[in-house]
């Protein structure tokens, strides 16, 4: 497999340094991508780079995933990002470990010569002094930026748009590339198109300090067709950690993709071949309402990010909420997972002491909760067959609701009409 050509036809390639493709076609080559441990989970915004490493390894090359334990301590050097605050060493160590565990789900760490490897730049920066940095990095650049006077700093900012701190941060990231080139024979750095400056700084340092050759590839920054930010929903980021974003919500994020974005994203976020994708597109165009592309995209990325079992739960949850699925699937869910399924839907809590005595259905729906604004409206819909409890249709408004009906002794799922669901929790 030609790695660069793979990125091209998938619409992922943004820029490539001369000689890079020739090097990759010549022999197995090591390359890396860096990930900032600013949180204890990666999110879908990282998936482009994760997929790049997957393609890199599938092409027979050796991928390195660098987790920036040292650069993560800097936070956002521009001071513009609320998501990259300065973190304590303990928090960073925890985040680094979580990211390492997540990345191991995507890459093969036991496949011989091109096995993936994890590296942490804290390991080589922890004993690296300021003077070491000036000696090993600063003197090899055109201007000794770390010792620059205020006038030079101002000129730097006016000419590059970067602050002195941001440029220093770029130099630090450039040293990462030099270190991996020297210690791991890592010849290629990859990243998003916004990382080109950092990567070129590294190749320049390798050339000046060691007369070596290194290469660079950047990928397109993913945006939605409507111009809004990819990977964000009204409730925030879409995380890869199932405790932060449930597999059901993760699946729904991809399922709700527009047709235009689905045609782009199925190339970027799946391993389907060009022939397979073009066939899916033909099927989709014949019946867009079936959302064939979206389903294929959502299913594959949910399995890769979570598991086949997680996909099954997501599908059963979707069928329950939007079709005629049963409640049996929740038997395999933890209490927190069950509650997460109903996130975004109305939920009510009733004290166990209140529920200990038998109550009738109307009181439950209009008095102990506000599923109905009045008992009269509750009775009317019940008599019309519009109310179900735990997927069982209720026809008697005076029906008694006892603790024996509670799922796991804690929950009731009420359906009003065709698509209105409510979760009642008894504590």
Q: Annotated catalytic sites, by residue?
A: 38, 43, 46, 80, 84, 173, 194, 229, 232-233
Reference 180, options 322, 67, 262; nearest CA is 67
Query: Alpha-carbon Rg of the chain, whole angstroms?
Result: 27
Q: Do the Cβ atoms of 125 and 66 come closer than 8 Å?
A: no
Cα 73 to Cα 91: distance, rounded to the nearest angstrom? 10
State the Cα–Cα distance between residues 157 and 168, nearest whole angstrom.
12
Structure tokens at 197: 């400056």
DSSP category for residue 73: G
CA distance linking residue 333 with residue 330, whole number of Å: 5
Angstrom distance (rounded) from CA 114 to CA 270: 21
**Spatial distance between the Cα atoms of 422 and 389, rounded to a whole number of angstroms:** 10
Task: Tell me the C-alpha distance between 59 and 4, whole Å.
Answer: 9
CA–CA separation, 64 and 181 (whole Å) = 11
Please say whether the dihedral angle defined by the alpha carbons of residues 293, 276, 301 and 103, taken in this order, is positive or negative. negative
CB atoms within 10 A of CB 353: 9
What's the length of the chain?
427
CA dist 340 to 317, 343, 350, Å?
Answer: 11, 5, 18
Q: Give CA–CA dist 48/249, Å, rounded.
A: 19
Q: How far apart are CA 324 and CA 322, in angstroms?
A: 7
């Amino acid at each position: 497999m030609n790695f660069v050509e793979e990125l091209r036809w998938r619409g992922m390639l943004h820029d490539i340094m001369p000689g890079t493709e020739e090097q990759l076609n010549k022999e197995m080559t090591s390359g890396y991508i860096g990930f900032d441990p600013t949180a204890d989970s990666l999110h879908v915004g990282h998936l482009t780079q994760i997929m790049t490493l997957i393609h890199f390894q599938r092409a027979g090359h050796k991928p390195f995933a660098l987790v920036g334990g040292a650069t993560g301590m800097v936070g956002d050097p521009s001071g513009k990002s609320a998501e990259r605050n300065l973190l304590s060493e303990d928090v960073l160590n925890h985040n680094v470990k979580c990211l390492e565990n997540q990345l191991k789900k995507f890459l093969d760490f036991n496949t011989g010569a091109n096995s993936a490897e994890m590296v942490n730049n804290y390991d080589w920066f922890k004993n690296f002094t300021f003077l070491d940095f000036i000696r090993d990095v600063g003197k090899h650049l055109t201007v000794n930026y770390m010792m620059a006077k205020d006038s030079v700093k101002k000129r730097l900012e006016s000419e590059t748009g970067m602050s002195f701190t941001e440029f220093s941060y770029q130099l630090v990231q450039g040293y990462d590339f030099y270190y991996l080139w020297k210690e791991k024979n890592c010849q290629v750095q990859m990243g998003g198109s916004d990382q080109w400056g950092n990567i070129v700084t590294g190749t320049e340092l390798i050339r000046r300090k060691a007369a070596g050759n290194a290469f660079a590839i950047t990928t397109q920054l993913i945006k939605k067709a409507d111009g809004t930010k990819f990977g964000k929903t009204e409730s925030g980021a879409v995380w890869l950690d199932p405790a932060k974003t449930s597999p059901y919500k993760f699946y729904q994020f991809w399922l709700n993709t527009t047709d235009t974005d689905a045609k782009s994203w199925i190339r970027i976020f799946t391993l389907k071949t060009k022939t397979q994708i073009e066939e899916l597109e033909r099927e989709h165009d014949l019946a867009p309402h079936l959302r064939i592309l979206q389903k294929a995209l959502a299913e594959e990325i949910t399995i890769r990010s979570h598991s086949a079992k997680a996909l099954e739960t997501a599908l059963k949850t979707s069928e329950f909420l939007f079709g005629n699925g049963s409640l049996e699937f929740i038997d395999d869910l933890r209490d927190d997972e069950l509650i997460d399924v109903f996130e975004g839907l109305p939920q009510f809590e009733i004290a166990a002491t209140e529920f200990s005595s038998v109550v009738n259905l109307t009181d439950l729906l209009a008095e102990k909760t506000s599923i109905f604004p009045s008992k009269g409206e509750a009775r009317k819909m019940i008599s019309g067959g519009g109310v179900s409890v735990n997927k069982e249709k209720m026809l008697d408004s005076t029906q008694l609701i006892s603790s024996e009906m509670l799922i796991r002794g804690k929950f009731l799922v009420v359906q009003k009409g065709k698509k209105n669901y409510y979760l009642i929790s008894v504590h």
